Structure 1
């Protein structure tokens, strides 16, 4: 929404305030200024152009079509200007572009006036024609002015040009009261303790009178719930022509193109008072009858933009005796508007219910200045004021007579909001004591009346245009926005009413974090059906058939139960992709499983991952690498790191679902199971290739998530690597090596990794060899050989004693 500073100055005395100060005031009151732009009526604003008087005009000695003039432009001495216009003469008042001025013949082209010589004669400026300065198209000669203005007077002043500053307001939906210049002035009035200038408007309204009743219009409101108030009148004998300059200036400043005097006046009143109006060509109001009714479902209607629209049954329409003329509060019709041939109008000013206007606007994707205000809630008490104001302006600038009484259909007046306010609650919510008299003055300045007052409470009456003020908290907010947020002092010691160290865990945010991480790892998200076939639970021992949640009214034998496992719906996706030659798959899904128990039905939240095919594509530099257990387990472990899950332990698992795998446990709870899907289970879904599957308890991970990440300074001293080759019983695991190493050397050992495993003819049966690397580092000093050897000796003894290891040298 745009607010013109010059327009605002006509409503309230703010000449002593800069645009930046007005910006701060409006923003502090809730009308947030998103930017301030300068608007020039003429490109360049005629800067550097002045009124001059031709004192001498002589023939140029070297050119028949040029004249050498001496022009008084208000300086100490006249300036010499060479002019080629045929009509230049001594004694004329002219427009002079001085040296340095930039002229804009059109908004897209410009040129700068420079000191120069023309055929040997010095020229210090230019005497201008109207097309050269963007004021017209004529180039028959220079502009000759009829004025007594002093030489040197800025040309912009002579032509009455008005540069403006325009505020771009980011209007929030609750502040429809600020959707006009009058609304912004109301806030400035109470902020600056100044009166609003209403003399012109008040005089026009006071002089309003009905000239005759020769063209009365009958109004029928058939949809009172959608149109609580409807007012209107007729004006006859008008002349459609160009608007006066001041109205065009006002509309241009906020980006509206003037159309004609009647339409421009309705737009002017809309943006000044916030009350939309509409003028119908009275000749198109057949039967002199206006009907406010709902549309016929499916009826066609052509709007002003020449688009034919199919109406809905809940669209509110303004119709004459035989056809629709306007979509109420949203958009006028193509055939009923004011044209150059219009001589009489029916002028409408109404209050349409926000709910109906909003629905219609959304259904037809139409956004207009009128719908913007109606759908947020206009002032029902402004209808008559705006109607009279617009009618008197039309009479003044379009002529004619008011030829009917005002029609005002308002069966159920909208009441003010009555609210009780306790002074102690004002102080409690604001956090600072505000004197009662100051509270009263703020509310009365906001046109909120005080009905009753005691030492502890007040009863207030809020006008209906303040649709956002209906509770005690809303009244307190009004007090605070005028009193000023910056006026509330901060205590020396701040405190809060909540424990900030225990923020609420947002499951959706965590899911988004993990989703982004998985997508970044090359995984695709899938969404599968929660309905599945009971054959999976009857064929797999790991799924208890008695816990199936059966569907009573099944549509298909293949969709007769709710899934107890997310494995098979994922396998079906893999099978579908493989059949379409998409064999390399990395996918994940957030979903639920469903279980029947003795105490009823339960749902469990899961995150599942599937990997099949190759983990990296074939290229000229490397062969394709088949996905394996570590491909999927590394992804799972990155999820744990992302959610800061601590204290995880692992155990081997083998069952009907997995050929092999691991279970991950934290806080004595299984949080994930990862492994290769048993081929028998995969074949149940038609999959014959290797598939690696991870089933993660998502609810458990959310509960265990901690935002309390531990950070420490990067070590300054180098790390050292030492390798050992251990010959062990083939039942020994790398996990046991890792556990023993960490218990033996807690201070210096930073990492343990296996980089080779060997079983074969060079080792006795039942043995295997692990090649293990150990990373040692002291964060406070550089390690020496003595310390390193001591550490490695301790590790070797631990492996020999606890695992029966033989160290290969």
Structure 2
């Protein structure tokens, strides 16, 4: 949301710099993400001043040039060569000083430099209006009638001071601040001054010759609807002041009537709509729901199919506007319009949100209506807009204000416990300070006792309905920075901390991964539904959809961390960072049997080379085994040692394995399916691991067991087995552990061969077995007996051939 500082100062008096105001607003919850300069004309006349021609003589070597001396407020006059025929001594003129950049009405911008013109030095330029972008005339230099001191900025003389425009990241709960006056209300409390509404006392009804009847058939969706007729308007271009107000916040002027309604929307936060009154059939407006499947052409020329839940503003014969969202093509204001009906209404936010989302339409009106507007502002804004239209487009008010408001919306009633305010803030700030802040925020104190305040909160504060909300309002104005940190921090808790502390465990695992060269990433929980539905019409009913998304690329909660990680990989790969090892702790979301669910996962991504190339050792491509080693080390760290594996069936992996602990899936690891990677525009092979973090932390037991070092030596024996290619190491390991439970300490693969020296469809695996008896030294007889039993089982269960 863009807010003009000069416009803001129409409501509140302050001499603070824009940067100071920005800091105040950010501290109060209206985060100022940036402050841009807006110039009414390009360049803002920087370096251009008012000067006085002291002398003017003909150039000795050029008949059409004059050599002048000009006082521009500096210690010495400047000599300027001028080619204008009307330059003369004694004139007040506009001077572009050396270094100034000019943006002429036509042609390219250029800078003023010290130069010599036909041998005469020139230190500046005396300007015509087209040369500085003020107009099109090039008949001669501008001669001013002013007593302003020499050296005064030309922008000051022409009233073209630059404006500062705040870019505010408005959060959904701050609908009350979605306008210049809304922001001024916060500054009223922050600066301890008064935010003044515009004066509308000049509004009066000339006669009642052009009334429009209004009937609201759905008062739940439209609790309040008001309007007034204005006759004899002349639609045309808006005056400069209005055009520049709108341009400063990024809007393009359309015509004086439409511009006036847009102006009031951004001034007061109340959306407006102007109808061509002569196109309202039957001189009647009906607010009702649409007919299912009915077509309607909006202002952008798009034919839309309406739904039965869409609220429409209709004439006696046909729909004219999608209420609160978008106007129709037929009843809009054009250059031929002479009579208008001006609408101002309050719509129930949920109805507008569903309609806007259903049609995929985002407008300034729907942005405000779907978050909640002020029902008390409806009539004031109507009068304000009518006065502006009369001022810039002429016309007379030719009807009484019609105001259909069957059930007035009351203020929110809240009992505020004073002790709880201090407890939640964490600091005693005093009852009088609390009352002062509430009053400055236009929250009425209707009653007071020793322990409570009875409050009446105006409905424009749509998110202040509970005691905790009021405390938040108090704290943001009091200032988070004013809450002191005590030397000894303490707090009260509703429940005991779990053991172990998940955050401590998370930090431990993060340190382990970071020490292995992994970088932690944090990605958005919102993502694009196209990843899951891939442009098909088959809706994935398990997706958690966002009802009021601001971007079509962020319309669902992520169902997997795969795509957000791939997007991060793509961003880095596109910037020539191709050797990547990343991890993320994050939540995934889905629906199941009508209930929303979420789960925390730890995921790892590896792509590119294992390490940077050096002269000592070439670098190879990352592989499954390196990531598998990392995952197994994590599982051991999390005391999930005795895991089993099986081929993975993970939806996003082309190949890999799944780790299980007590028949519960604790991890997946494998190659991201190339088709999945392609969706995120990643062309490199990506190895991916996914750990069930919630299960692993829930079942983690910090019960480290310490054992005395073995008194007797370990023994290693190796076997070379020829097996079918389909036999996995997990199968070999399980057979070995079942066959020898006491002595077998470790089993490891140290070589694998597949080639033309063995039978097709076979592989040779070299395996080491570590044996240990903790009670005595192993004898050759025991070792041979153990190895013999192992070989027999491998031959029997796997059809292995033991290579001697």
TM-score (norm 2): 0.67
Residue 381 to residue 62, structure 1, CA distance change in 2 (3 Å): same
Deviation (angstroms), 1:399: 2.2
In 2, Cα distance between equivalents of 1:652 and 1:270: 62
Cα deviations across residues 324-351 of structure 1 (Å, max 9, x unaligned)? 2222111122232222232221111111
Deviation (angstroms), 1:756: 9.3
**Contact 1:52/1:152 (<8 A) preserved:** yes
Deviation (angstroms), 1:370: 0.8
Partner of 2:112: 113
Partner of 2:308: 313
Partner of 2:290: 295
Aligned with residue 215 of structure 2, among 216, 220, 230: 220
**Contact 1:737/1:799 (<8 A) preserved:** no
Aligned with residue 244 of structure 1, among 239, 245, 248: 239
Deviation (angstroms), 1:433: 2.6
2:495 aligned with 1:502 = no
Partner of 1:646: 639
Deviation (angstroms), 1:752: 7.2
Residue 806 to residue 252, structure 1, CA distance change in 2 (3 Å): closer
2:384 aligned with 1:389 = yes
Deviation (angstroms), 1:358: 0.8
**Contact 2:93/2:144 (<8 A) preserved:** yes
In 2, Cα distance between equivalents of 1:294 and 1:366: 18
Deviation (angstroms), 1:303: 1.8
Residue 108 to residue 21, structure 1, CA distance change in 2 (3 Å): farther
In 2, Cα distance between equivalents of 1:672 and 1:411: 59
Deviation (angstroms), 1:801: 6.2
Partner of 2:471: 476
Deviation (angstroms), 1:107: 10
CA RMSD of aligned residues (A): 4.5
In 1, Cα distance between equivalents of 2:72 and 2:783: 107
In 1, Cα distance between equivalents of 2:287 and 2:783: 93
Residue 92 to residue 670, structure 1, CA distance change in 2 (3 Å): closer
**Contact 1:241/1:261 (<8 A) preserved:** yes
Deviation (angstroms), 1:411: 0.5
Q: How many residues align?
A: 610
Partner of 1:798: 778
Unaligned runs of 5+ in 2: 504-512, 519-531, 533-587, 589-598, 602-622, 647-656, 668-689, 705-713, 723-731, 754-763, 788-804
Residue 664 to residue 343, structure 1, CA distance change in 2 (3 Å): closer
Deviation (angstroms), 1:794: 12
**Contact 2:640/2:696 (<8 A) preserved:** no
Partner of 1:347: 342
Partner of 1:12: 12
Aligned with residue 464 of structure 1, among 445, 456, 459: 459
Residue 723 to residue 464, structure 1, CA distance change in 2 (3 Å): same
In 1, Cα distance between equivalents of 2:22 and 2:437: 20
Residue 51 to residue 650, structure 1, CA distance change in 2 (3 Å): closer
Cα deviations across residues 392-418 of structure 1 (Å, max 9, x unaligned)? 222222222111111111011111111
Deviation (angstroms), 1:219: 1.4
Deviation (angstroms), 1:770: 8.3
**Contact 1:648/1:665 (<8 A) preserved:** no
Aligned with residue 426 of structure 2, among 424, 427, 431: 431
Residue 123 to residue 756, structure 1, CA distance change in 2 (3 Å): closer
**Contact 1:302/1:309 (<8 A) preserved:** yes
**Contact 2:232/2:338 (<8 A) preserved:** yes
> 1:154-193 maps to which residues of 2 (within 5 A)?
154-193=153-192
> 1:38-187 maps to which residues of 2 (within 5 A)?
38-105=37-104, 109-187=108-186
Point out the more displaced range, 476-485 or 135-144: 135-144
Aligned with residue 437 of structure 2, among 432, 435, 442: 442
Partner of 1:560: none
Q: Secondary structure at the match of 1:206?
A: coil
In 2, Cα distance between equivalents of 1:121 and 1:697: 80
Partner of 2:539: none
Partner of 1:401: 396
Residue 647 to residue 378, structure 1, CA distance change in 2 (3 Å): closer
> 1:189-200 maps to which residues of 2 (within 5 A)?
189-198=188-197
Deviation (angstroms), 1:4: 1.2
Q: Secondary structure at the match of 1:44?
A: coil
Deviation (angstroms), 1:664: 9.4
**Contact 1:39/1:166 (<8 A) preserved:** yes
Residue 141 to residue 805, structure 1, CA distance change in 2 (3 Å): farther
Deviation (angstroms), 1:57: 3.4
**Contact 2:413/2:455 (<8 A) preserved:** yes
> 1:296-695 maps to which residues of 2 (within 5 A)?
296-496=291-491, 497=493, 498-499=496-497, 501-503=499-501, 639-643=631-635, 644-646=637-639, 648-649=641-642, 669=662
In 1, Cα distance between equivalents of 2:693 and 2:22: 49
Deviation (angstroms), 1:270: 1.1
Deviation (angstroms), 1:472: 1.6
> 1:714-729 maps to which residues of 2 (within 5 A)?
none
Residue 361 to residue 725, structure 1, CA distance change in 2 (3 Å): closer
Q: Secondary structure at the match of 2:357?
A: helix
Residue 303 to residue 68, structure 1, CA distance change in 2 (3 Å): same
Unaligned runs of 5+ in 1: 506-513, 518-526, 528-589, 591-604, 608-630, 654-661, 675-695, 711-721, 744-750, 758-767, 775-790
**Contact 2:744/2:772 (<8 A) preserved:** no
Q: Secondary structure at the match of 1:646?
A: coil
Residue 222 to residue 72, structure 1, CA distance change in 2 (3 Å): same
> 1:225-236 maps to which residues of 2 (within 5 A)?
225-236=220-231
Aligned with residue 254 of structure 2, among 245, 249, 259: 259
Deviation (angstroms), 1:371: 0.8
In 1, Cα distance between equivalents of 2:211 and 2:117: 69
In 1, Cα distance between equivalents of 2:459 and 2:65: 70
Q: Secondary structure at the match of 1:226?
A: coil
**Contact 2:96/2:125 (<8 A) preserved:** yes
Cα deviations across residues 199-229 of structure 1 (Å, max 9, x unaligned)? xx23xx2232111112111112222221111
Deviation (angstroms), 1:275: 0.8
2:275 aligned with 1:277 = no
Residue 804 to residue 271, structure 1, CA distance change in 2 (3 Å): same
**Contact 2:445/2:453 (<8 A) preserved:** yes
Cα deviations across residues 121-148 of structure 1 (Å, max 9, x unaligned)? 1111111122221223333433333434
Residue 415 to residue 80, structure 1, CA distance change in 2 (3 Å): same
Partner of 1:593: none
